[in-house]
Amino acid sequence: MAQLTSNGSVPTLADVARHANVSTATVSRCLNSPDQVVGETRERVLKAVRELGYAPNFGARALAAKHTNTVGAVIPTMENAVFARGLQAFQEELGRHGKTLLVASSAYNETLEDEQVRALVARGADGLLLIGYDRSSELYAFLAKRKVPALVAWSYAAQKEQPAIGFDNRAAMAELARLVIGHGHRHIACISAPIASNDRARGRVQGIGDAMTEAGLAPDDLLLIETPYGIETGEAAFRQVMADTPETTVVMCANDVLAIGALRAAREMGVRVPEDVSVTGFDDIEIAMLAEPALTTVHVPHREMGRRAATLMIQMLRDGDTGQSVELPTDIRLRRSLGPARSGDLSKASMA
Instruction: Please pick, from the candidates 14, 25, 196, 290, the single residue that binds a second copy as defined by CB under 8 A.
Output: 290
Instruction: Please pick, from the candidates 46, 65, 102, 326, the single residue that binds a second copy as defined by CB under 8 A.
Output: 102
**Residue 4's Cα: distance from chain center in Å?**
45
Decide if residue 1 touches a second copy (CB under 8 A). yes
Output the smallest distance, CB 55 to a second copy, in A: 5
Which is closer to a second copy, CB of 145 or CB of 348? 145
Decide if residue 66 touches a second copy (CB under 8 A). no
* C-alpha to C-alpha distances, 191 to 168, 202, 253, 332, 352, nearest whole angstrom: 19, 11, 5, 18, 23
Q: Rounded CA gap, 247 and 256, in Å?
A: 23
Output the smallest distance, CB 26 to a second copy, in A: 20
Q: Rounded CA gap, 187 and 221, in Å?
A: 8
Q: Rounded CA gap, 154 and 46, in Å?
A: 41
Q: Which of 341, 63, 329 is nearest to 188 (CA)?
A: 341
* C-alpha to C-alpha distances, 86 to 90, 136, 153, 216, nearest whole angstrom: 6, 24, 9, 37
Rounded (to 5) percent helix, strand, coil in the chain: 45, 15, 40
Instruction: Please pick, from the candidates 123, 183, 239, 333, the single residue that binds a second copy as defined by CB under 8 A.
Output: 123
Decide if residue 25 touches a second copy (CB under 8 A). no
Decide if residue 60 touches a second copy (CB under 8 A). yes
Decide if residue 14 touches a second copy (CB under 8 A). no
Q: Rounded CA gap, 320 and 247, in Å?
A: 55
DSSP 166: E
Decide if residue 57 touches a second copy (CB under 8 A). yes
Residue pair 234/253 in contact by the 8 Å Cβ criterion: yes
Decide if residue 59 touches a second copy (CB under 8 A). yes
Which is closer to a second copy, CB of 188 or CB of 265? 265
Decide if residue 50 touches a second copy (CB under 8 A). yes
Which is closer to a second copy, CB of 291 or CB of 338? 291
Q: Which stretch binds a second copy (CB under 8 A): 95-103, 156-164, 245-253, 273-281?
A: 95-103
Q: Which of 278, 276, 274, 234 is nearest to 254 (CA)?
A: 234
Beta bridge partners of 190: 224, 252
Q: Which of 187, 87, 69, 184 is nearest to 129 (CA)?
A: 87
Binding mask 208-237 for a second copy (x = CB under 8 A): -----------------------x------
Stated length of the chain: 352
Instruction: Please pick, from the candidates 26, 116, 233, 249, the single residue that binds a second copy as defined by CB under 8 A.
Output: 116
Decide if residue 243 touches a second copy (CB under 8 A). no
Which is closer to a second copy, CB of 164 or CB of 263? 263
- Residues at the site binding a second copy, with contacts judged by CB under 8 A: 1, 3, 10-11, 50, 52-53, 55-63, 68, 70, 72, 77-79, 81, 83-85, 87-88, 91-92, 95, 100-105, 107, 112, 115-116, 118-124, 138, 141-142, 144-147, 231, 260, 264, 286-287, 290-292
